[in-house]
Amino acid sequence: MPSFRFAPLAALALLVSNPALAQDVDARASYVLTLGGINIAAMNVDLTDDGARYRLDLRANVAGLGSMVASGTATARSEGRSSGAVLSADEFGLQTVASGETFSIDASFAGGNVAAFKVEPPILDNYDRVPLERRHLTGVGDFMSAFVLKGNALDRSLCQRKTSIFTGVERFNISMSYAGDDQATSPRTGYQGPVVLCTVDYDPVAGHFTTSEITNYLADSDRIIIWYAPLGATGYFIPYRVLLGTNMGDLSMVLTGMQY
């Protein structure tokens, strides 16, 4: 499995009030990912929403970092219903290409449950992999839409949520909590203004490997933080910055451009 694909997933380590969107949304957010202060990827995320349905498209070019992160490309998509308080995916897909190897996930959802999923090449069920059971595939959503929020205001309510996520490989839960208000001031980023800080607690449930260092590190980490910024007056709020402490240094994702 190409190791670099965890960068957008962990950073995005890619969750929701009930606003009425004032207009159709056609937006793009651009990000740069760094590990230990070294650039490893550039990423664009496009969001469209006609008031009834949304689509998210992610494209990343990964420069790599020695043996820790392989260079290559990653694309992901999520689409489904947007008329409720949260985005509700019908389809999710991910593809990564690195070192001549392709890894892909396709999953479909119905009523908040997994209807079908396919992983190529298949994940081997080694002795240390926690088995996925049918009960793990109910009451879940996809990874991408979980981190794009809808709300009425930039306040602490954005952070007060719990979400169950199925990636096609793993089922895990995340709990977000309000950590404070801040101000984005750097002219080198794609937004200057007020932001809200949310801490994230990651709880692996099934599909993961018990011997995985990254899984165990994330589960024990108290340094997963997302700064949220408003996407203009659309009623959407997107990550301005994501910070994840790792044993290889801080994994950081920062917004470098925003169009809407």
Domain range summary for the chain, segments of one domain joined by +: 3-259
The maximal CA–CA distance of the chain, rounded, in angstroms, is: 51
Q: How confident is residue 249, by pLDDT bands cut at 50, 70 and 90?
A: confident
Q: Identity (one letter) of the amino acid at 247?
A: N
Residue 9 scores a pLDDT above 60: no
Average pLDDT over residues 86-91: 96
Average confidence score pLDDT of the chain: 89
In the predicted structure, residue 40 carries a pLDDT above the cut 60:
yes
Q: Look up the pTM and report it.
A: 0.88
pLDDT band, residue 23 (cuts 50/70/90):
low
The helix (run of H) or strand (run of E) holding residue 9 is helix 6-11
pLDDT at position 115 is: 98
Query: pLDDT > 90: what percent of the chain?
Result: 77
141 to 74, 107, 146, 198: CA distances (angstroms)? 20, 10, 7, 20
pLDDT at 175 over 90: yes
